[in-house]
Copies of this chain bind each other. A is one copy, B any other.
Amino acid sequence: MTASRALSQPKLVSDATRSKVEQAVAELGYVPNRAARALASSQSHVIVVLVPSLSNAVFTAVLEGIHDAVAPGQYQLLIGNTYYSQLEEEKLLRTYLQSNPDGILFSSQVRSPAVAKMLAASKVPAVAMMDLSDDPAVLSVGFSQYEAGMAMTRHLIAKGYTRIGFIGAQLDERTLRRADGYRAAMAAAGLADPGLELMVPERSTIALGAGLMAQLMALRPDCDAVFCCNDDLAHGAVFHCQRQGIRIPQDIAVCGFNDLPASAWMMPSLTTVDTPRYQIGFEAAGLLLQVIKGEEPAERRIDLGFTLRDRESA
């Protein structure tokens, strides 16, 4: 009917009928049925977002950025939590593809064969967030995790630390890239020493950071600085030292990654890498929206950089 038009393309309808329709809508409390609209128009106005965690403040900031970028466009966000599992990512993608999304936002660069296949078959545009992709076919928004890991390590080396440990958990692709950067910087300075690395697959928590710090210091009492792969671990490391009366940075330096809110306030304040996570979400959603509209993006790879925060702990 004309009513449908009055609602979706008000310009094409005369003022008189439009107001009649609007009145009827108000009286009846009419609510359009999204499923019917999606089916008829074959446009879902759904954007799928896959994040590895909802408890990690990094990804909630990314979500807020996406939310803010997308709100004006009336897209509906379908948020999936992969729990850092590729298998879970596959399952979620399979489920969400049933909603015929207009686009997909991934938090990872690495795509399992199954995910790659589904993505190709569905022809839904996708953008990878967090790291920059080497593959020109993949749209990406983020910063180089590798460069950031290297920059922090160089910073510690420049300050005169020579036996710099690395504490890593979760071991997701971003952590591994940061570790690669750490190794490259250590090797370049002739300081490489695999015995200074402590990597475990458990989820990053403050408790784990405290435990790993204790472990590393027992294993390598000569260690003079520790690069924690994220701020949660670093906070745990700092709290552990405080409780043990170990002075930071005099006895040992500690630094983290991400610059969570507590890092600037704790004592000592934490040297860390500030990452543009909100901005990543915002820009990635913007890029995806562009592609959905059929526009050719100016850049297929948006580097948002990172900022080293040199504070008291190192």
A39:B35 contact, CB within 8 angstroms: yes
Contacts of A61 in B (CB 8 A): 55
Binds B, one of A92-100, A167-175, A178-186, A293-301: A92-100
Identify which of residues 35-83 in chain A touch chain B, using a CB-to-CB cut-off of 8 Å: 35-36, 38-39, 44, 54-55, 57, 60-61, 63-64, 67, 74, 76-79, 81
Task: Given A60-B60, A99-B35, answer yes or no on A261-B205 (Cβ-Cβ < 8 Å).
Answer: yes
Residues of chain B contacted by A55 (CB below 8 angstroms)? 57, 60-61, 64
Interface flag for A157 (CB, 8 Å): no
Contact yes or no, A31 B122, CB < 8 A: yes
Which stretch of A131-139, A222-230, A236-244 is in the interface? A236-244
* Chain A residues within 8 Å of chain B by Cβ, number: 47
**Looking at the complex, which one of B44, B210, B232, B262 makes contact with A206 (CB distance below 8 Å)?**
B262
Instruction: Say yes or no: A34 contacts B98, CB within 8 Å.
Output: yes
A191 CB to closest chain B CB (Å) equals: 30
Taking A34-B98, A35-B38, A74-B95 as given, write out 5 further A-B residue pairs in contact, using a Cβ cutoff of 8 Å, ordered by the A residue number.
A32-B98, A35-B44, A55-B64, A76-B78, A243-B267
